[in-house]
Amino acid sequence: MSGHGLSQVHGQELTRNVSKPPFNNSLPATMPLRNGTASKEACFSANGSTGTTRSTEIPSTTASNGSPAIVTQKVKTDHDREPHSNGELLKPASGDAAVAKHLEQIWEWNRTAPKSVERCVHDLINERVRAQPAAPAVCAWDGELTYSELDGLATKLASRLGRLGVGPDIFVPLCFEKSMWTTVAVLGVIKAGGAFVLLDPSLPEQRLQVIVEQLQAKIIISSPSNGEVSSRLAQRAIIIDWEFFTSTEFNIIDDGVPQSHPASPASLLYAVFTSGSTGMPKGVLITNTNAASALYHQAECMRMNKNARIFDFASYTFDVSVSNVLSALTTGGCLCVPSDEDRKDNLEQSIASLEANILDITPSMAQVLSPDRLPSVNTVIFGGEALHPTDIKRWWGKVNIIHIYGPCECTPTSTINYSMAGPDEAVHMGKGVGLVTWIVDPEDHETLLAPGCTGELLLEGPLVGRGYLNDDAKTAASFIEDPEWLLRGTPTKPGRRGRLYKTGDLVQYTNNGCLKFVGRKQAAQVKIRGQRLELGEIEHTLRNHVRVDEAVAALQHQEGQESRIVSFVTVRDVDGIDSLTDNGGECKSHCDGEYTSMMDHRGRTEQSLNNGKLQKTSRQEIHNELFGMLKAQLPLYMVPQVIEILDRMPLNRNGKIDRLALVKGLESRTSVRGPV
C-alpha cells in the first residue's frame, strides 16, 4: 500500500488516492454438525402439504418433571425423511395433548414480538441534551464534557461531514485510542446522518485496510496519534482535537449547522466487524431502529439511567464499546473512559478514580478484580464468555449482577438475566429483552423443539439487524423470514409474520422460559477472550503462506486455565523436518518486529523465493515466518499460542482430518509458542 508519512497532523484534513488490494473471496467447505449420543426428542413441525418433517439426533435431555422429553419416537436422518402431507403437528407417542401443551407453553413465552421503536438515535440523545445540558456526559482520562459541550462539538463536526457528503448509509470509520474524542466523533457522524465504524488502531494495518475497503469509506476520523495510519486508510483523514475545533479556518467555513442529509430510523447507525471464515472480516449492519429498540427495552434491566457511570472497558473491536457509548448518552448517564494503558495495567485504580459504578466485563477479566477495592461499583454486567458459578460467588451480595448474551447481528445484547436467587441461577442466559427466543432443530429451522430439548436459538424482534455487508447469500442463510410455525401460531394464539436470526448457538429452555447455553452449532466458530472468531479465518491465513500445504486451527481446553487457540500445519521443502523435534522455542522477538511480505502469482504470502524456486528452510524459520505473518494480518486474540509442524495430518475413518486427535495428542508432541 502506498502512502506518506506526516510530521504534523493536528487539526488537519489529509487526502490521498487509495489503491485497492486484491482479496481472495473463496469459501471453504462447511463443517458438519456433530452431535452426542442420539436420543428421541420432542419436536414440532409446521410444514405445509408439500413439505417434510423429521426429528434430529441431539444430546439427550429430560423434561422438567424428570421424565424424558419425548414427543415423537420417529428419529430420521438426513437421508431418511418422511413426507407430512396434512401439515399438522407430528403425532406424539403420548398423544396430541402433550404436543399442544408444549406448543402453547412456548407461544405463551413468545406470544408477541416486542415493540419496534422507530426513532433515530441522535434524536434520543438530543432529548437528553435538552433535559440536562450541564450534566456530565463524558469523563475521560484526557478531558470531560457536559451534554451541552459534547453536543456543540458534535454539531460542528456534523456540519463539516455533511459538507463532505456524509449522509444516510454512508460509512465513516473512526480510528481512536480510548479517548473522549471518540464519543465526539460517534455523535458527529450520526448527527450528519451517517453510520460509524469503530476501529481498533492496535490491529494490524492490513486488517484495518481490508475493513475500510469493504466499507468503501472515503473519509476517516482520527485522533492525532493515529493520523498517520488513518491517512493511509482512506482518501481523507479528519484529525480532531481542540485545535481542530478552534482553528480559524474551521470557524470560517462551518456555521455549526448540519447540512441536509437526514437519516431515517431505517438508516444504518453502525457496523461492527467479526471474524469471517473466508479470511476476510465480516461486517454486521445495525440500523437506528435496531439500536433505538434495544435501548428502549433494555435500559431499565441494565440499570442504565442518569445516575449511571459506565466504565468503558471494552476494546473498540468489541460491540459492547458501542453499547457503552449509546447507553450512557440516551439515558443521561456518564461514560467513564480510561486510557489504554490503564485498561491494561492499572484497571482497579482507573475504575476507582473515574468513580465508575457499572462494569461491563468478561468473566475472565472479573477474576483479576477485587470487589473490596472497588467501592464505587454497584453493578457488574457479565458477558462475552460462558459464565460459571465460581465467577459469580466472589461478587455475590456485594453488587448487582447481570448476565447478558447477544450476537452482534442483533445489537450487542439479546437476552438478560437480571433477577436470580443465587450464583447457580446467574449462569443462565435469561430471557429475550427486545426480542423473543425460539429453539429449533439445528438442521431444520422449520421444526420447533419442546422445552427441555437442545436446539439452535433463533431470535425474533426489532433488534434483528439488517444483515451482512456486501454478502446477500450469507444474509439470506442467517436471517430468515416467516417460518411456517410462526405463521401458523396455535389454536389460541394467532400466528404472525417475522424476521429471525439464526444464532448458531445451542440452548435449552429452563422451566420458566429462561435459556441455558449448551454450545456452538458449528465447531469452527468459537469465542475466546470475549471475542467471537472463525477458526477458518486463521486456517485461511496460514494456507496463504507459500510453504503451507494444509492448516488446521482448533480451540484447546485446559483444566483450570483459559482455553487457547492452537494450530497445526503441514509444509513443503523444510530442512530437517524429521530431525528437529526438540527445537521448540519462543518466537516473540520476531513477532514483535516489522513484518513485510510480497505476493506470488497465486496470491500466497512468499518469504523464501529465490529465482522462482523454494529454498530449503528449517522448521524454526517456518515457525518464525508463520507467527510473524499471523501477527501482521490478524488481531492478537486470533493468533494461535501454539503452531505445530507435522509430517502429515491424521485422518479419521471417513478420510477427513481428525481434529480431535490433533488436539488430544498435542501434549506428546513438540510445539512452538507464539505471542500471548
pLDDT of residue 384: 84
Q: In this predicted structure, which of 177-186, 518-527, 561-570 has the lowest mean pLDDT?
A: 518-527
Q: Name the region of 330 (left: φ>0; alpha: ψ -120 to 50; beta: rest).
A: alpha
Max mean pLDDT among 10-24, 402-416, 559-573, 644-658 falls in: 402-416
Q: In the predicted model, is pLDDT for residue 17 greater than 70?
A: no
pLDDT of residue 214: 97
Please give the domain boundaries of the chain with CATH numbers for all domains. Answer: 97-113+435-522 (2.30.38.10), 121-434 (3.40.50.12780), 525-573+615-671 (3.30.300.30)
Q: In the predicted model, is pLDDT for residue 598 greater than 60?
A: no
Are 387 and 427 a contacting pair, CB within 8 Å?
Answer: yes
CA-wise closest residue to 597 among 200, 18, 22, 206: 206
Average pLDDT over residues 55-83: 32
Query: In the structure, what pLDDT confidence band is assigned to residue 486 with cuts at 50, 70 and 90?
Result: very high
Residues of the chain above pLDDT 70, percent: 73
pLDDT of residue 371: 95
Query: In the structure, what pLDDT confidence band is assigned to residue 528 with cuts at 50, 70 and 90?
Result: confident
Residue pLDDT, tens place only, 283-323: 999 999 999 999 999 999 999 999 999 999 999 988 999 99
Query: In the structure, what pLDDT confidence band is assigned to residue 461 with cuts at 50, 70 and 90?
Result: very high
pLDDT of residue 653: 57
pLDDT of residue 669: 53
Q: In this predicted structure, which of 70-74, 143-147, 396-400, 607-611 has the lowest mean pLDDT?
A: 70-74
pLDDT of residue 449: 92
Strand partners, 155: none
Measured over all CA atoms, what is the biggest interatomic distance in the chain, rounded to whole angstroms? Answer: 80
pLDDT of residue 308: 98
Q: DSSP assignment of 152-197, as one string?
A: HHHHHHHHHHHHTT--TT-EEEEE-SSSHHHHHHHHHHHHTT-EEE
Helix (H) or strand (E) segment spanning residue 626: helix 619-633
Residue whose C-alpha cell reads 457528503 in the numeric block:
165
Amino acid at position 13, single letter: E
Are 403 and 430 a contacting pair, CB within 8 Å?
Answer: yes
Q: In the predicted model, is pLDDT for residue 363 greater than 70?
A: yes
Q: In this predicted structure, which of 13-17, 101-105, 327-331 has the lowest mean pLDDT?
A: 13-17
Q: In the predicted model, is pLDDT for residue 262 greater than 70?
A: yes
Strand partners, 444: 441
pLDDT of residue 98: 79
Q: Which three cell numbers stand for residue 468?
A: 451482512
Nearest-5° Cα angle at 283, 281 to 287? 165
What is the Rg, in whole angstroms, of the alpha carbon atoms belonging to the chain?
26
Q: Which three cell numbers stand for residue 467?
A: 444483515
Helix, strand or coil for residue 461? coil
pLDDT of residue 150: 99
Are 309 and 355 a contacting pair, CB within 8 Å?
Answer: yes
494 secondary structure, DSSP code = B
Q: In the predicted model, is pLDDT for residue 367 greater than 70?
A: yes
As a whole number, the mean pLDDT across the chain is: 79
Residues of the chain above pLDDT 90, percent: 53
Rounded to whole angstroms, the Cα distance separating 493 from 490 reads 5
Average pLDDT over residues 432-446: 96
Query: In the structure, what pLDDT confidence band is assigned to residue 636 with cuts at 50, 70 and 90?
Result: confident
Residue pLDDT, tens place only, 408-419: 999 999 999 999
pTM, to two decimals:
0.72
Residue pLDDT, tens place only, 172-227: 999 999 999 999 999 999 999 999 999 999 999 999 999 999 999 999 999 999 99
Q: In this predicted structure, which of 39-48, 161-170, 458-467 has the lowest mean pLDDT?
A: 39-48
Q: Which three cell numbers stand for residue 382?
A: 457479565
Rounded to whole angstroms, the Cα distance separating 172 from 197 reads 6
Q: In this predicted structure, which of 134-138, 170-174, 590-594 has the lowest mean pLDDT?
A: 590-594
Residue pLDDT, tens place only, 613-635: 445 567 788 888 899 999 988 88
Rounded to whole angstroms, the Cα distance separating 525 from 322 reads 23
Helix (H) or strand (E) segment spanning residue 282: strand 282-287
> Which is more confident, 452 or 45?
452
Q: DSSP assignment of 93-142, as one string?
A: TT-HHHHHHHHHHHHHHTSSPPPP----HHHHHHHHHHH-TTSEEEEETT
Rounded to whole angstroms, the Cα distance separating 610 from 192 reads 53
Q: Which three cell numbers stand for residue 124?
A: 434520543
Q: In the predicted model, is pLDDT for residue 402 greater than 90?
A: yes
Rounded to whole angstroms, the Cα distance separating 2 from 656 reads 42
Q: Which three cell numbers stand for residue 240?
A: 480532531
pLDDT of residue 186: 99
Max mean pLDDT among 380-389, 414-423, 586-595 falls in: 414-423
Residue whose C-alpha cell reads 478531558 in the numeric block:
143
Q: DSSP assignment of 347-416, as one string?
A: HHHHHHHTT--EEEE-HHHHTT--GGG-TT--EEEE-SS---HHHHHTTTTTSEEEEEE--TBTBS-SEE
pLDDT of residue 657: 76
pLDDT of residue 592: 31
> Which is more confident, 278 or 102?
102
CA 183 to chain centre: 20
Average pLDDT over residues 67-83: 30
CA atoms within 13 A on the CB side of 620: 11
Q: In the predicted model, is pLDDT for residue 458 greater than 70?
A: yes
> Which is more confident, 112 or 6?
112
Rounded to whole angstroms, the Cα distance separating 356 from 333 reads 11
Alpha helical stretches, state H, 405-559: 423-426, 472-478, 484-488, 535-543
CA-wise closest residue to 411 among 434, 386, 379: 434
CA-wise closest residue to 546 among 598, 588, 494, 472: 598
CA-wise closest residue to 642 among 657, 661, 663: 663
